[in-house]
């Protein structure tokens, strides 16, 4: 099972992963459209910047996912190694935000429900946009 890993040694904090992620998950045809008219689609990955170290964090797709266990509606589930959210069932109670140890469940004011990384399963045939867009191999999708 391939997973996304972060090489913090190589993260440049360019934040491009966030933009590629947001655009890919926005449903828009391309990045320009996704951000047109002041739109700010929310990325499901986020870059943390330090004085010397930076890295991107997104869902780890845990083996024993506490978010799935915590979900009060059954919207979160894990299938074929990927944790995804059925947005028609999520009510935005944020119990998963409460329990995710990585802070990877994304909330936004313009969306009542949560959003999370599903490794671009729904929008890019499981070819994560962040990995593709990273200019320095700081995010990799690998079998380990």
Partner 1 sequence: MALNYFQPLFEVIRDKDRCIKCQACARQCSNEVHKYDAELDMMISDSQTCVDCQRCVTICPTRALKITENNNQFRTNANWSQQTMTEVYRQAESGGVLLSSMGNPKPYPVYWDKILLNASQVTNPPIDPLREPMESRVFLGKKPRNVSFNEDGSVNTKVTPTLELSTPIMFSAMSYGSISRNAHESLARAATELGIYYNTGEGGLHKDFYQYGPNTIVQVASGRFGVFKDYLETGAAIEIKMGQGAKPGIGGHLPGQKILEDVSRTRMIPMGTDAISPAPHHDIYSIEDLRQLVYSLKEATEYKKPVIVKIAAVHNVAAIASGIARSGADIIAIDGYRGGTGAAPTRIRDNVGIPIELALASVDQRLRDEGIRNEVSVVVAGSIRSSSDVVKAIALGADAVYIGTAALLALGCHLCRTCHTGKCNWGIATQRDDLVKRLNPEIGYKRLVNLVHAWDHEIKEMMGGMGINSIEALRGNRLMLRGIGLTDKELEILGIQHAGQ
Partner 2 sequence: MKKYVIIGNSAAAIGAVQGIRSVDTEGMITVISDEPYHTYSRPLISYWLEGKVVDEKIYYREPDFYEKNNVMTMFGVRATAIGGGYVTLDNGGKVAYDKLLIATGSKPFVPPMKGLDTVDYFTFMNWDSAKAIKEKVKENTKVLIIGAGLIGLKAAEALYHLNADITVVDLADRILPSILDVRAGQIMQKHIEDKGTKIILGASVEEFSGNTAKLTNGDTVDFEILIVAVGVRPNTELVADAGGKVEKGIVTDLQQQTTIPDVYAAGDCTLSHDSSSDSEKILALLPNAFMQGEIAGKNMAGQMCLYLNAIPMNAIGFYGLHIITAGSYEGEEYVTEDAEKERYKKLIFKDGKLKGFILMGDVDRAGIYTSIIREQIPLSDVDVELLKDHPQMMLFGKARRDEKLAGKIG
**What is the CB neighbour count within 10 angstroms for residue 1?**
9
User: Scanning residues 97 to 136, which ones bind partner 1 (CB under 8 A)?
Assistant: 133, 135-136
Q: Among residues 2, 3, 16, 97, which is the contact residue for partner 1, using CB under 8 A?
A: 16
Q: Among residues 19, 55, 65, 115, which is the contact residue for partner 1, using CB under 8 A?
A: 19
141 near partner 1 (CB under 8 A): no
Counting residues that bind partner 1 (by CB under 8 A) gives 20
Helix H, strand E, coil C: the string for 16-82 is HHHHHHHHHHHCCCCHHHHCHHHCCCCCCCEEEECCCCEEEECCCCCCCCHHHHHCCCCCEEEECCE
Give whole-number Cα distances, 58 to 36, 37, 99, 105, 137, in Å: 25, 27, 15, 8, 15
Please give the structure tokens belonging to residue 92. Answer: 């935005």
Nearest of 57, 75, 70 to residue 4 by alpha carbon: 57
Q: Which is nearer to partner 1, 35 or 94 (CB)?
A: 35
Q: Among residues 2, 14, 16, 107, which is the contact residue for partner 2, using CB under 8 A?
A: 107
Q: Among residues 10, 46, 60, 126, which is the contact residue for partner 1, using CB under 8 A?
A: 10
105 near partner 2 (CB under 8 A): yes
Please give the structure tokens belonging to residue 59. Answer: 């869902």
Q: Among residues 74, 87, 135, 136, which is the contact residue for partner 2, using CB under 8 A?
A: 74
Q: Where along the sequence are the contacts to partner 1 (CB under 8 A)?
A: 9-10, 12-16, 19-20, 23, 31-32, 34-35, 52, 133, 135-138
């Amino acid at each position: 099972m391939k997973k996304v890993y972060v090489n913090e040694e190589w993260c440049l904090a360019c934040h491009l992963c966030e933009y590629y992620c947001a655009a890919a998950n926005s449903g828009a045809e391309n990045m320009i459209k996704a951000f047109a008219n002041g739109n700010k689609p929310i990325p499901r990955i986020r870059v943390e910047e330090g004085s010397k170290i930076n890295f991107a964090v997104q869902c780890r797709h845990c083996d024993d996912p506490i978010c799935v266990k915590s979900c009060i509606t059954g919207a979160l589930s894990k299938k074929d190694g990927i944790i995804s959210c059925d947005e028609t069932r999520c009510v935005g109670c944020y119990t998963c935000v409460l329990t995710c140890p990585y802070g990877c469940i994304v909330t936004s004011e313009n969306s009542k429900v949560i959003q999370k990384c599903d490794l671009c399963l729904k929008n890019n045939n499981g070819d994560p946009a962040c990995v593709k867009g990273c200019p320095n191999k700081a995010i990799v999708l690998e079998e380990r």
